[in-house]
Structure 1
């Protein structure tokens, strides 16, 4: 019986990706945080074993969330003579 109890405990700790999601939530969170501070998308993609386009899509999603609710900047800030 103890083996079965331990087996059930392990199953609960492992999170599998949700439907149609290739990477886990933890992986996505790590990429989101590091994409803000990384030098290049290529380096970050290499570190996480993903494509550059995947990392860029994750960064774009984070940037879009951060920019929501902020007013747009005017087209012209100042005119110098």
Structure 2
């Protein structure tokens, strides 16, 4: 069946007019934000702080893993 004849494919004329009007509307330009004055040294300092925090978190996780993992001999004593 031809889509133009199929009532499921028909659109109301008001919707077609709205789509046509939107297609012809001018596109508003995005507002340009001025660049932030941030010295390069401060940005590197922040990256170093982030790296220190991540390495500290990784070390803490490794220590927690070591503490929670117990050898099988300890498990035998607990189950007795």
TM range (shorter): under 0.3
Relative contact order (alpha carbons < 8 A, sep ≥ 6): 1 or 2 greater?
1
Higher normalized helix content (fraction of residues)? 2
- TM-score normalised per structure 1: 0.24
- TM-score normalised per structure 2: 0.24
